[in-house]
Amino acid sequence: MHFTGEHLFPGQLGHFLVVLSFVASLVATIAYFRSTVAKIPAQASGWKQLARYAFFAESVSVFTVFITIFYIISTHKFEYAYAWNHSSMALSPKFLFACIWEAQEGSFLLWTIWHCVLGLVLIFRAGKWEAPVMTVVSFAQVCLATMIIGLYFGSTRVGINPFMLVRQLDVMQNAPIFNSPDYLSIPQMRDGQGLNQLLQNYWMVIHPPILFLGFASTIVPFAYAIAGLWKRDYTGWTKVALPWTVFSAGILGLGIMMGAAWAYESLTFGGFWAWDPVENASLVPWLVMVAGLHTLVVYNATGHSLRATFFFFIMAFFLVLFSTFLTRSGILGESSVHAFVENDMNFQLISLMAVFLVPAMLLFGTRYAAIPHIIREESSYSREFWMFIGALVLFLAAMVISWQTAFTPIYNKIAGKSTAAPEDPEFAYNKIQVFVAVVLGILTAVGQYLRYKDMPRGVFIRKAGWPLLAAIILSLLISLFGGINFQKHGPGFLGAIHLAVFAAVYAMVANAAYMWVGLNGKLKSAGGSIAHLGFGMMLLGILISSAKKDVLSKNNGILLNFDPKSKQDPTENLTLIKGLRTDMGRYWATYENKDSTGQHGNITYFKIDFQDKKSGEQFTLYPNFIKATKGQEGVSGNPDSRHYWDKDIFTYISATSLDDESDTVRFKKYNVKLKDTIFYSGGYMILNNVSINPAGTKYKVGPNDTLIVADLAVLSSDSMKYRATPAISWKGADSRFLFDTLFAQNLALGFTGVNKDAHTFEIQVKESGKMVPYVALKAYEFPHINLLWLGTLIMVAGFGVSLRRRYVLSRSLTVSRRRQGADAGRS
Amino acid sequence: MKKTHIVLLIFIAAAIAVLVSFTGNLTTYETVASARQKPGTFVRLIAKVDKSQAVEYDAAKDPNYLVFTAIDTLGNTTRVVFRNSKPPDFEKSEKLVLNGRMENGRFECKDMLMKCPSKYKDDPNVIKKNLTVIN
């Protein structure tokens, strides 16, 4: 059958380029491989040239694929499944990118694109390491290309083609809609399903690209490590790989924290971190990458810890692949807030892990003995010893988190059991990680004052003593007067929190002091200290804001509680009746009104006024509800916060009279002519007029909308007169009923139909005692949450400073080597 | 033995101890019938909202009191008490994971996890439904 109105060219081009990128990266892999193993220099450079052309071709293809998808989405070509599933006409243009990452194919594409960018930089910068390193990168590109290639081998499909048409989807086979050649003119094909409402947030535009750059960049240290093992040049790569490692750890850290900021701003689990498997999956590779970064620095300075460095880089990259498997295979099932759907790519995802892990570990295992190491032990008063311990703690923390995240789903799958996370899953993580924080905080502080190799004890104690004393005093002040009183998990955990507060403060004080004492204020070379200062600040922010998180909206049983038990459980939702000033602990809260905005009125803002009882300070917050997309009923809450330098007042709406399903009273239908009367229990009403697009109504009318408004006069038995104007609105073929409510009379009125022949209008009337407009509000105070965000910025800045310095050092290294080479040639 | 090895062994021993205790704290997924076998034990009940029964929630009275009937895949039902607000996506959820305890014949739910068909990824069945329902 020939279908009209389809634009097939972009899809054909796109899919051709996907296949081309697969072929080109395969050619690049083989050519780089041959170049690496070639014995004759001329052969090596010949293969390398071919490999470069192939990699360029691959990069151009991948970029064009991305542009093509963006074109399809931004021009609303809904014949494509991608556009139809993930976007809609109503979507604000700034979220078009978020549509691309909403789907699995798009995030694989993003990953591939970053590999291309990193690969291009490596081609220009890697020098003699180009061929082996790029063999690894190109091979990863082959693997990623299979994820979006969407080809069938027999009946097995490999990858998901992002350029599928809606009618080509498996589930759409035999759908009656496609019996018509002009199916695109059917209303439900003229608009897409829209972007998930939770992703309609600006963080979702920038967080995924940064996070995926972080994921993608883990391949570079990995590839250098593999190249070192492969070429049996175990030590030559460590200095050139260092800037890449710093970059990877910095960007991945930034990406993770952007995700935390998104969760804080747009999710209603009430915080920035919930130990969700998706969060853990990004944290774990970061921890291991940071461990590898530290052992790499140790090796470059002292010659210790090289074997550990190889291991950490292999693991960091493997854990990225493992995360990919966990979050995309559907194996997490019940344990995540994200709903994952099982798909048929599990085999492919498991293979992806295996093709990297098995050869890498074999190579590492067989060459392990040949990797240089120092037999003499590190001194206990040396920096390298404690840095190694720190790296070990980071790695073990990552392993514990991985185990806690992945044990139950994998065990259930293999053993057919039905185990689940502990009763309080967050506490299961926190009670362990709080001690990790203690150890890391102290190590970051002490480590700075130790020298590499060895140092006299007296010097160490003299230098490190003052910051320790200052930190003890400061943290005691916080512990005594900071109001940290987290009793929920008993005195043991509270003690651990106090200890961790000390460790965090110590890390901050010691690193800040070290910048002046140890480095004489030379900020250029203080990258490590800056990053550690930021890390300490993050820890402090996490500890204080979580341990002191305070529920402001306590419902103290003023309203009906049926069960005495409800007093024991946290009752964190406070009902605010419209216009009624309500006591909310330290504040007065008033629900003023609500307002719908967005192109289709899909976002409802609730205006809530707050007044501080003590200071009298007034402010207004606008938490909102976004209507669900993709044909789903319901709404999602979006929080709004009042930011102070020392705290956030964080609020969101947990329920409202809008979606009150318990209101079982039904509408009664009346078919009436103009000037007819309808009676209700409290009086009667008259349909005065019905008009099309009248001026001066409360409805917003777009240029292409048609609005029919029924004008009703309502007269109550107590002689009050009201006016109600329910309406029907059309936008194209899309009609909506706009109900009108008279709260004073507990009336809801709808205008739902016109019968042209009988000249009657259908009016629906509902009387309900539950019409009082209200919202249920949750309000938290997060004290000192800004420490977390500021700490993040400082840490990332520290990585930046360090990256610059390490880059300059590694450049001067190559330059001096070249000079030495030239001198040697001359003499 | 080197210091590093000693530290390594201590850490690994600590990590194993932690993981063993974690494994001991694990809970289980249950059906309504199997949850009734373990009254008072914290379990995770996999079920969905029985839409044929009334959902009691009146935020104007008490925003922290939601009562509904959950039905599992075997067709067994139980009343569920959830002392919190009704989550915004409650009605559209296709599946619920209810965390709590069976007490006096009712399920006292501490918190719940909702599985909404298209929260993160696309469920093909929903796509199909959206296209065919209107036909």
Do A770 and B117 lie within an 8 Å CB cutoff? no
pLDDT in tens, A611-664: 998 888 999 999 888 776 665 556 677 888 898 888 888 888 877 765 444 445
Angle CA(A404)–CA(A406)–CA(A411) in degrees, nearest 5?
Answer: 105
Do A633 and B91 lie within an 8 Å CB cutoff? yes
Do A655 and B65 lie within an 8 Å CB cutoff? no
CB A554 within 8 A of CB A583: no
Q: How far apart are CA A342 and CA A400, in angstroms?
A: 26
Q: How far apart are CA A693 and CA A347, in angstroms?
A: 58
pLDDT in tens, A739-760: 777 766 777 788 888 887 878 8
ipTM: 0.78
Q: Name the residue facing B63 among A177, A378, A776 (closest C-beta).
A: A776
| pLDDT the model gives residue A358 | 96
Q: Give the helix, strand, coil percentages of chain A, each rounded to 5.
A: 55, 15, 25
Do B91 and A659 lie within an 8 Å CB cutoff? yes
Classify burial at A616, counting beta carbons within 10 Å of its beta carbon; exposed 0-12, middle 13-18, buried 19 or more: exposed
Q: How many CB pairs under 8 A join A and B?
A: 230
CB A295 within 8 A of CB A388: yes
- Kindly list the residues from chain A whose CB atom is less than 8 angstroms away from the CB atom of residue B63: 555, 559, 573-575, 654-655, 776
pLDDT in tens, A450-488: 888 887 888 888 888 888 999 999 999 988 887 777 777
Lowest-confidence range among A4-18, A81-95, A333-347?
A333-347
Give the pairing type, strands A705-716 and A677-680: unpaired
| pLDDT the model gives residue A481 | 84
Residues 79-108 of B with CB under 8 A from A: 81, 83-92, 97, 99, 108
Nearest Cα residue in chain A from B123: A341
Q: How far apart are CA A530 and CA B86, in angstroms?
A: 45
How remote is the C-alpha of A77 from its chain's centroid?
A: 27
Nearest Cα residue in chain B from A772: B60
- Segment A758-782 shows an average pLDDT of 79
Do A176 and B22 lie within an 8 Å CB cutoff? no
Closest CA to B107 of B57, B42, B58, B12: B42
Chain A nearest CA to B24, separation (Å)? 9
For all residues of chain A together, what is the average pLDDT?
Answer: 85
| DSSP single-letter state for residue A559 | S
Chain A nearest CA to B66, separation (Å)? 10
% of chain A residues with pLDDT over 70: 89
How remote is the C-alpha of A386 from its chain's centroid?
A: 33
CB A186 within 8 A of CB A180: yes
Q: How far apart are CA A532 and CA A443, in angstroms?
A: 10
Interface test with A, best of B1, B26, B28, B45 (most A CBs within 10 A): B26
Phi, psi (degrees; rounded to nearest 5) at B104: 50, 45
pLDDT tens-place values along chain B, 135 residues long: 678 788 888 888 888 888 888 888 888 888 898 889 888 888 988 888 888 888 887 766 677 788 999 998 888 999 999 988 787 667 777 788 888 999 888 999 988 877 665 433 444 455 555 554 433
A122 against A614, higher pLDDT? A122
Lowest-confidence range among A104-108, A273-277, A548-552?
A548-552
Angle CA(A102)–CA(A107)–CA(A112) in degrees, nearest 5?
Answer: 160
Q: How far apart are CA A400 and CA A407, in angstroms?
A: 10
Do A193 and B127 lie within an 8 Å CB cutoff? yes
Predicted TM-score (pTM) of this structure: 0.82
- Kindly list the residues from chain A whose CB atom is less than 8 angstroms away from the CB atom of residue B132: 175-177
CB B80 within 8 A of CB B60: no
Q: How far apart are CA A548 and CA A651, in angstroms?
A: 16
Classify burial at B85, counting beta carbons within 10 Å of its beta carbon; exposed 0-12, middle 13-18, buried 19 or more: buried
| DSSP single-letter state for residue A379 | P
| DSSP single-letter state for residue A107 | H
Do B59 and A388 lie within an 8 Å CB cutoff? no
**Polymer length in residues for chain B:** 135
Q: How far apart are CA A533 and CA A515, in angstroms?
A: 10
Q: Name the residue facing B132 among A175, A388, A407 (closest C-beta).
A: A175
| DSSP single-letter state for residue A165 | B
- pLDDT band, residue A813 (cuts 50/70/90): low
Residue A718 has pLDDT above 80, yes or no: no
Lowest-confidence range among A138-142, A276-280, A499-503?
A276-280
Non-local (6+) Cβ contacts of A338 within 8 A are: A276, A278, A327, A332, B119, B120, B121
- Segment A513-541 shows an average pLDDT of 88
Non-local (6+) Cβ contacts of B52 within 8 A are: none
Q: Which structure tokens are listed for A557?
A: 């049983």
Closest CA to A443 of A429, A464, A470, A428: A464
Residue A339 has pLDDT above 50, yes or no: no
Amino acid identity of B61?
K
Q: Which structure tokens are listed for A237?
A: 């790569």
Q: Which structure tokens are listed for B9?
A: 């062994």
| pLDDT the model gives residue A239 | 92
Q: A22 - beta bridge partners?
A: none
Residue A161 has pLDDT above 80, yes or no: yes
Q: Is A171 on the interface with B (CB under 8 A)?
A: yes
Q: DSSP states of A603-645 as a string?
A: EEEEEEEEEETTT--EEEE--EEEE--TT--SEEEE-EEEE-S
Do A419 and B28 lie within an 8 Å CB cutoff? yes
Place of tokens 């909404």: B116
| pLDDT the model gives residue A825 | 44
**Polymer length in residues for chain A:** 827
